[in-house]
Amino acid sequence: MIGIVDYGAGNLNSILKAFSYLKLPARLVTSPEQISKLERLVIPGVGSFGAALAELRHRNLYPAVINWLKENRPFLGICLGCQLLFEKSEEAPEETGFSIFPGSCRKIRAAKVPHMGWNLVKIIRPDPLFSELDSAEYFYFVHSYAVFELMGHALALTYYGSHFVAAVKFGRIYGVQFHPEKSGPAGLKLLYNWGTKC
């Protein structure tokens, strides 16, 4: 069973519908007791870095998520959920993220912010997450912050004003800055790969 963390924000219904279409059992989770019974965990993302962490703490979900990550269990962070895997964000400098990956999310410096719409994602490191996808695919983005420092954990990059990290991996922990649930066939294929191969 895939659990989608409900912290009062995010794109929950679209992700549930995507997993349902793929015939991958998924449910919303609202308590730490539910998290302990899952096989896979997703934190989706629409919202702000600081507010998301505060809400996870308020709902007593934060310790369960931290334990899950420490145990290197299958995890997917989407958009804001990906950013939470890093140490810091300019959006909430006083907060500390899950710190699975080094580095900080910074505000996008481009002519138009937020970065919204389809953009090319270039895979720089082969991984089962991208199985049967081309080396460059279009995915859908909606975000104002990103990680610009290239690191050894990066799987894919996107260019918008400058290059930023589009996908990362550490063990069985993945993060994607784009929204696969809004990205048509390529996004569905990526979600299926994660749910069956990663």
Cα→Cα distances 176→33, 101, 141, 196, Å: 26, 13, 10, 17
At 10 the pLDDT is 64
- For the chain, first and last CA: distance in Å? 14
What pLDDT, on a 0 to 100 scale, did the predictor assign at position 33?
93
Amino acid at 143: H
- Point out the catalytic residue in the list 115, 143, 153, 179: 179
Catalytic residue flag (residue 79): yes
Q: Alpha-carbon distance 53 to 69, whole Å?
A: 15
The residue annotated as part of the active site, out of 79, 82, 105, 198, is 79
Q: Which of 5-19, 28-42, 114-128, 169-183 has the lowest mean pLDDT?
A: 5-19
Average pLDDT of the chain is 95
- pLDDT tens for residues 3-34? 999 988 767 889 999 999 999 999 999 999 99
Cross-strand bridge partners of residue 89 = 105
pLDDT band at 78 (very low <50, low <70, confident <90, very high): very high
CATH 2.30.40.10 fits domain 2-197: no
Asked if 45 and 145 count as a contact pair (C-beta separation under 8 A), the reply is no
CA max distance for the chain:
45
pLDDT in tens, 96-113: 999 999 999 999 999 899
45-69 tens-digit pLDDT: 888 999 999 999 999 999 999 999 9
**Is 105 in the active site?**
no
**Beta strand segments in the chain, E:** 2-5, 26-29, 40-43, 75-78, 86-89, 101-107, 115-123, 136-143, 145-146, 154-160, 162-170, 173-176
For the chain, the domains span: 2-197
Whether pLDDT at 190 is above 70:
yes
- The catalytic position among 115, 137, 143, 181 is 181
**30 closest CA partner among 11, 10, 3, 51:** 3
Residue 179: active-site member: yes
Interval 157-168 mean pLDDT: 97
